[in-house]
Amino acid sequence: MKFNCSKNDLIQALQIAGRAVATKPQTPILSGIYMKASEGTLELQATDYEIGVVCKIEADVEEEGILVAPGRYFSEVSRNLPGNTVTLTNDNNDNTIHISSGSAHFTLLKMNSEEFPCIRPLNNASHFTIRDTVLKKLIRKTSFACANDETRLIFTGCLLELEEEAVRMAATNTHRLSLDQEVLEGYEGDKKQVIIPARILGELEHGLNSDIPCDVTVNISYNEISFSFDNLYLTSRLIEGQFPDYHRVIPSDFKTRVTIDTAAFMAAVNRVSLIARSSEYNIVKLDFSMGQVHISSNSPEIGHAEETVPVVIDGPDVQIAFNGTYITDVLKHVDTKEFYLSLNESLNPAAVRETEDEAFIYIVTPVRVSR
């Protein structure tokens, strides 16, 4: 096999594919990147059995063929090549890959391509298409709320719920829940719920960065999901299990609704957290009264911080304390200039909503502070 391609294209493709290369491979072959050259395209594949990535780039193929290169070395070598184009050749009788660019020449030992578990498109799966911007927004507004803790697997993923005309995503780490909804056109099928690992959503969000809007085709089988768009194909296992019923978590009504300036409030909470963060739990107290919110934190070892931000309060005054991270996390993803914070008592969950987007809601539980 022999081909020439642009170095930048190759590096970009390797960067995306490289994320699926197993860091601690169960078998050595999973540390490799699979390459297939045919008719003007080079296809790269990588998988760690959890997620899989297929990426295609243009290439001037002189001789078709298949090979598996050691992932880490191939990526590092490519990134550091001096020239603008890369020539890769492989003698079928030989066990080596020759990479040359400009004045540099590398020889890498190839891996046995027959062992590589090639990624095949999902068959017999239900599918739908969604605009990339819509999908990206759904991911961005929910996946941050997932748990990192591997012990309870279902919370490390986002719930994807499909209905006729609507697609919803929800994520929780049991202390907070983020839920967003969009209109879905052209989905005909049963109501469906799957849990997608946050990891693939992160990769997907990363990959959905083209300036030209496109459609993403999503295929869902009983235990796998795949996303394909542009020249990319991502696939992942689904998380098995029953996601808790998020409807029950959302309070039906709130006594107090506070309208707050997003940027000002986030900056203030961040500042006050400087003191609170000294302990492992980042407790920020909020006191809503008289047209302002008084934000304070106290650490017996360090000191005290406070700040006030003007707000509009509809309803009775409230004092409440939160883990500051849970507040700043969501505000990073609030897109409107102002947001609503809806509250009941100081020990009831609160809700964050955008002023212009009814569909998005974030529920957060307060902390009980002694004294």
Binding site for another protein (CB under 8 A): 147, 149, 151-152, 155, 172-177, 244, 249, 279-281, 283, 289-292, 294, 296, 298, 300-301, 304, 306, 308, 310-313, 321, 323, 347, 349, 363, 365-371
Which of 171/334 has CB closer to another protein?
Answer: 171
Strands 176-183 and 166-172: antiparallel
Which of 71/349 has CB closer to another protein?
Answer: 349
Does the CA dihedral 133-43-110-96 come out positive or negative? Answer: negative
DSSP at 168: E
Which of 85/292 has CB closer to another protein?
Answer: 292
Compute the least distance from the CB of residue 45 to another protein, in Å.
35
Cβ atoms of 3 and 32 closer than 8 Å = no
Phi, psi (rounded to 5 degrees) for 70: -65, 120
The burial class, CB within 10 Å (0-12 / 13-18 / 19+), for 210 is exposed
Compute the least distance from the CB of residue 327 to another protein, in Å.
13
Compute the least distance from the CB of residue 274 to another protein, in Å.
17
Which of 207/349 has CB closer to another protein?
Answer: 349
Structure tokens at 233: 């194909």
Compute the least distance from the CB of residue 361 to another protein, in Å.
12
Which of 83/310 has CB closer to another protein?
Answer: 310
Compute the least distance from the CB of residue 98 to another protein, in Å.
50
DSSP at 317: -
Which of 189/303 has CB closer to another protein?
Answer: 303
Helix (H, G, I), strand (E, B), or coil: what is residue 270? helix
Compute the least distance from the CB of residue 271 to another protein, in Å.
15
Cβ atoms of 131 and 138 closer than 8 Å = no
In DSSP terms, 347 is beta-bridged to none
Cβ atoms of 361 and 179 closer than 8 Å = yes
**Which of these, 345, 342, 346, lies nearest to 311 by C-alpha position?**
342
